[in-house]
A = this chain, B = another copy of it.
C-alpha cells in the first residue's frame, strides 16, 4: 500500500499551520493566507513529480501522466480553503491524501493507465462572495457571468479575485462543455458521528443529499400581552411551536426509510420579539435533506397539512416560499463498489453512508461519475478548531483512496463515453 503515514500527517499539519495566527484554523479563499497555502502546496506537488498548474477556474492541479493518453483522467482531491475558525482536516485531508496516492504510486514504480489528477478546488466553503464550490462550478462549466460579477464587501468582483489567484475566468465561457472525468473520488472527514458511533473505519458515500430550503411564515396578530386575554389572541409563536414539533416528529418517522430524511428548523425570527408583546409574525427556515428528491419536495406541504387544524384554530395563516433547492447527487455504483472492495482489501471495516453536507462532487458529477470516502472525526465535530481525526484514521482513508484509484483504473477499462450513472 503506497501510503507514507508520517509524510501524510506532516503535510496535513504543515498546510493546516498556514493559518491566520489570531483565529486558528483559518485560511479563507482568496486571502493572502490562502495564496500562501497554495504556494506551499504547489511546491509539494512539484517536488513529488506532478505536472503542476492553475486551471482556468483557479483550481490548483497536479497531474501524473497515465500510460494511455486517450483516457480521461481519474481525479482525486478536495479543497484547501477553510471556514473562519474552522478545522485542520476539512478539505486539506482530501488534497494531501490525493497527493500521497500519486506520489506513493510513482515511488513504487506503478503506472496507471488513466492520467491521475490531484485537485485543490477553489473556494469550496461559502466565500466572501456569498458563493461556495467556485472552482468545481468552474470545472463543470457552471460558473455564470452573473456569478463572476458578484462583489465582496470591499468592491472586488469574483472575476478579479479569480485573476489574482491565477485563474483565467475569461476563458471559462469557451469551456462550457467541461472536460470529462473517468472518475472523481474525494476523501473527507464525515463531519458527523455515524461512523464513530458504529466503530466503523470507512464510510462509502452513496449520495450527496439534496437540500431544499423553504421559508415558512406564520402570521397572527401582535397584541399587548397584558391587555389581551388568551382567548382573544392569534399568537404566531404558538403556531410556530406546533410546526417546529411537527418537523421533528415527521423527520424522526422518516429515519427508518431506505433514504432517510433530515428536517431542521434552525433559524427563526419573531416579530415584534418583546417580552410584553404577543408575537404577531414568526418566520422559520425549514431545511430538508435527503437522497430522496421526491421526499424533500413533498415534506413542506405534507408538514403544513398535519398542523393545519392547529394553526387554523389559533387563527393563524401560514405560507411557504421556496428559498433554494439542490437536487441529490448519487455516487456512481462502480465507485461505491471499488471503495467497499478497497476497504476490505486493506483490512478496514466500511459501511454505506449518505453525505449530509454538500461537496465539490455535486458539480464535478456533471463531467463524469463521482464517489466519496469518509473517515470518522472525533465526536462528529467539524467547522470548529476542535475538529480532529487520528493519524491512523487519516492513513486508513488514504490507503482506501489509493486502492480505490487502483481498482478504478483497472475496472474502467471500457473505452467510449463514461456514464455518470454507472
Contact = CB atoms under 8 A, between A and B. Distances in A.
A386 to B, nearest CB: 12
A209, A228, A232, A252 pick with most chain B CB within 10 angstroms: A228
A10 interface: no
Interface string A275-294: 11111000001010100000
A99 to B, nearest CB: 26
Nearest to A227: B192
A388 to B, nearest CB: 15
Given A237-B265, A241-B242, A267-B273, A228 B357 contact: no
Contact of A242 (B245, B252, B356, B357): B245
A268 B260 contact: no
Q: What is the total number of copies of this protein in its complex?
A: 2
Interface stretch (A15-23, A160-168, A218-226, A340-348): A218-226
Interface string A91-107: 00000000000000000
A301 interface: no
B276 A264 contact: yes
A268 B226 contact: no
B266 A228 contact: no
Contact of A275 (B252, B285, B356, B357): B285
A130 to B, nearest CB: 14
A190 B228 CA distance: 10
Contacts of A273: 266-268
Contact of A227 (B244, B272, B382): B382
B237 A244 contact: yes
B266 A380 contact: no
A200 to B, nearest CB: 14
Interface residues on A, range: 35 or more
Contacts of A251: 230
A227 B358 CA distance: 10
Contacts of A382: 224, 227
A274 interface: yes
A224 B191 contact: yes
12 contacts: A192-B224, A197-B232, A211-B226, A225-B264, A226-B289, A229-B255, A237-B268, A238-B248, A266-B272, A266-B273, A266-B279, A275-B287
A365 to B, nearest CB: 17
A262 interface: yes
Given A237-B268, A241-B242, A273-B268, A252 B231 contact: yes
Given A191-B224, A244-B237, A382-B224, A229 B270 contact: no
Contacts of A65: none
A419 B243 CA distance: 52
B274 A192 contact: no
Contacts of A28: none
A7 interface: no
B262 A267 contact: no
A295 to B, nearest CB: 14
A227 B287 contact: no
B227 A191 contact: yes
A360 interface: no
A228 to B, nearest CB: 6
Contacts of A279: 265-266
